[in-house]
A and B are shown apart, each in its own frame.
Chain A
Amino acid sequence: MRGIAWGLRSLGRQPLRTALSLAGIAVAAAMLLDMVMLSGGIDQSFSDLLLVRGYQLRLTPKGTLPFDTEATMTRASEVVAALRRDPDVEAAGAVLGTSLYARAADSLVTLFGFGVEPEAQGLYEVTAGRDLTWGDTAGIILSEPAARLLRAGVGDSVTLVGRLDPQVAAAAVGRRLAVRGMVRWLYDSRDQPSVGTVLPVMQRLSREPAEDRASLILVKARADERVPALAARLRAEFPAVEVNSAAELVVHFRQRLVYFRQLSYILGSMSLIVAVLLIATLLTIGVNERLGEIATLRAIGVSRATVVGQVLAEGTALTALGAALGILLGLVTARYLDAILTSFPGLPAAFSFFVPRAGTLSFAAIVLLVTGSLAGLYPAWLAARAPIAATLRAEAT
């Protein structure tokens, strides 16, 4: 304990040096924390987003990921009916995504349309008004950006048109619909003007409804532990579609953002190296400056272990204080960096790259604390092997 107290006191002897070192360690710790958050945050945030409504499986056209291309599956109703008969399936619903148009004043505005089965949907949450109901072919739900674009609210009517034909300068199909509610589409990017209708209405607006097309089928399993087995069974049962669990989609997404993951490893490692170098350099020079003092202490009977403890305590105290400051700084810079990265075009607005969690903060702090403490080993070794007589003689002259 005596060594630790000396160690802490010696930090106070050089306030400017200690303050600068703390600032350096804090910046390095902040960077390390941000990179730890980035490396795990991408997976965590995407997984949370996929499972927000509890649908663990997505069925898409063969070889595609949800809404990655304009590909669609035919005979969607048959597939959904078969899925709903499966004893392991709690809910299943088809979704068709397509570009369509709405009349606003004397012009057409472009929207993104979702055809959904309201009784089994995992794409939105109602924020105002009410949800669509099964068979509600006269209703529509709007996102806030779509409502702004169309200048419509709950109870108003909007006219959607689809299949524009440039040859005759007319739309092949049009539909006047009543706004039932305002919704937040979970996977929409910022300011994406999206609308939703029941599936048959959207199929009619996009293509010939006889083909019964869907872009995606969402499946909710009765139990999470049954998901892998259910996915395997569905793959065998429906070879023409791609079956992906949330975990598998996370893997695909991780591959797309592999650059950021690797960057986080590299920058995190560099931050750690900078922090270690700073602590080691500072302590080494501090020990060299205090060799006379250390020799005196040893001469009057202070043990070698106490001297080593003093140097290690200095390193640990510096690291702990720097890490505490760094965590605060890291949380601020993470928000700034997250604001930059989440402005990627097309990225869901609810997605986050930097996810602060207790586990992440603890991990970064422990890694820094351990390596920072280890950085004191070399100067502690220097202090321990200082020749007492020679040092005292040199000091006296």
Chain B
Amino acid sequence: MSRGRHSRGFSVVEIVVAAAIIVSMVTAAAGAWQLYLRLSNTSGRRTQAVLLSEEAAEALNLLRDRSWAKNIAALSLDTPYYIYWNGTTYATSTTPVTVNNSYNVYVTFGALYRDINKDIAGAGTIDARSRYATVTVSVAGNPGAKDLETQMLIHDIFQN
């Protein structure tokens, strides 16, 4: 009698519990998949951003090699300058330039201060032959959405 009743099929409670387990597992798997897609996309953008910021840092050195006075010292402090390859040379512009279809690369120069011993300090006299340069790679058209930000020092070593 007892065996016969068990073999008749599933009760509503059993079906509901089984369905709940299956649905929660599928939901968890879908969530994990979404996370994987998002992380994969982020890491792709980040690797591209690293290359672009390295290129911009090297381009700043090249601009410095050409002429510190014209290419670095002439630019205003604390103002973003978009840095790009115009087909024949590197140039800076205050209006946004999109590179590689979906990035903006800009550099912001900051003053470098030296203390009485000529050491770099938070305050003191401004060193006219040095700058802090912050290179930022951001989503094109959205300077606030930063992919990467790196800082470097640049000096007028050739006195040009």
Same assembly: no
